Amino acid sequence: MVRGQFQALACLGSLAALSFPVPPAQAATIERAPLKQACQVVAVKPQIDVKGMIRGAAIRSGCDDRTRFRVRIKRVVPGPDRTVKSGSKMLTNGRIVAGVRCVRTPARYYVVALDYRGGAGKSGAVTLSCKRQTPPKSGGASAVEDTVVKLTNEARAAGGCRPLVHDPKLHAAAERHSADMAARGFFDHTSPDGRSPGDRVRAAGFAPISTWGENIAKGRRTAAQAVDGWLNSPGHRANIMNCAFTHIGVGHAATGPHWTQVFAAH
């Protein structure tokens, strides 16, 4: 069973994932993880973060060989485009991010991803300047919770899925579950009083529900660590990369820390 499988990994980072479709008859079955895909290298369009930095990300997934992986943020200029920031690290699968301070004058930027096994990717170009503002947080979500959504959507883009909408009702369900786990000292999809993720989604008012899923984590100190941990675990990754999901809610409790991702679709 999925839950038992991931509870066994608690000592390696306390991760758990659960996903259920909800057909009209309300019968629940656990979704299966997809088969492993071929090695992919993807560059994600650059964007401005809350600190006024232009961030560019590169993602390598489905690979079984360790190599040096590089990300470059390039600025479109007359003549050869200029690399304004780059970074690299040794990895098999994962993501790498580079950042450069934005400027007031609008300019066009794109991201290039390269590995030393011949894989390459290039994002589309976007016009950015530090006059641009980040989108408002959804439903009272914190900056770290919005960062989880952003990183999740970057991973989904690499797999061809549309971005998830950070829904206020799902955010409330996720935030309450993280706070409950921290306050009562448990780590599970099912609350001590027997409430399931589906119960919490319905109680938050997200309706109708055609499908839902949940990832939880404990002990990951940053949003990036939480998302990386989920992406490196098949069951959690299956939830993140499930193109049937359209909405997400993220809840973070500093004690633990505890993290909850709730996925759903009408």
Length of the chain in residues, anyone? 266
- How far apart, in Å, are the Cα atoms of 202 and each of 78, 124, 179? 55, 39, 18
The residues that bridge with 85 in the sheet, in sequence order, are 73
pLDDT digits (tens, 9 = 90+) for 27-54: 332 233 343 457 888 888 888 876 778 9
HSE toward the beta carbon, residue 239, CA cutoff 13 A: 32
Assess contact for 99 and 85: CB atoms under 8 A.
yes
Q: In whole angstroms, what is the distance from residue 242 CA to residue 194 CA?
A: 26
Mean pLDDT for all residues in the chain: 82
Name the more confident of 7 and 101: 101
Q: Which residues of 142-177 are buried (b: 16+ CB within 10 A; e: fewer)?
A: bebbbbbbbbbbbbbbbbebeebebbbbbbbbbbbb
pLDDT at position 123 over 60: yes
DSSP structural state of residue 140: T
pLDDT at position 247 over 50: yes
Residues with Cβ within 8 Å of residue 250, at least 6 apart in sequence? 141, 145, 146, 148, 149, 166, 171, 174, 175, 259, 260, 261, 262
**Consecutive H or E run containing 46:** strand 40-48
Asked if residue 46 has a cis previous peptide bond (ω within 30° of 0), the answer is no
Helices (H) and strands (E) in the chain, counts: 6, 13
pLDDT, position 149 = 96
DSSP for 182-235, please give it.
HHHT--SSS-TT---HHHHHHHTT--S-SEEEEEEEES--SHHHHHHHHHTSHH
pLDDT, position 117 = 81
pLDDT at position 134 over 50: no
pLDDT digits (tens, 9 = 90+) for 176-229: 899 889 888 899 999 888 889 999 999 889 999 999 999 999 999 999 999 999
Give pairs for 142-147: CB < 8 Å, separation 24+.
142/252, 143/50, 144/222, 144/223, 144/252, 145/171, 145/175, 145/223, 145/250, 145/251, 145/252, 146/250, 147/223, 147/224
DSSP structural state of residue 12: G
- 3-state DSSP call for residue 99? strand
pLDDT at position 133 over 70: no
Residues with Cβ within 8 Å of residue 120, at least 6 apart in sequence? 41, 112, 113, 114
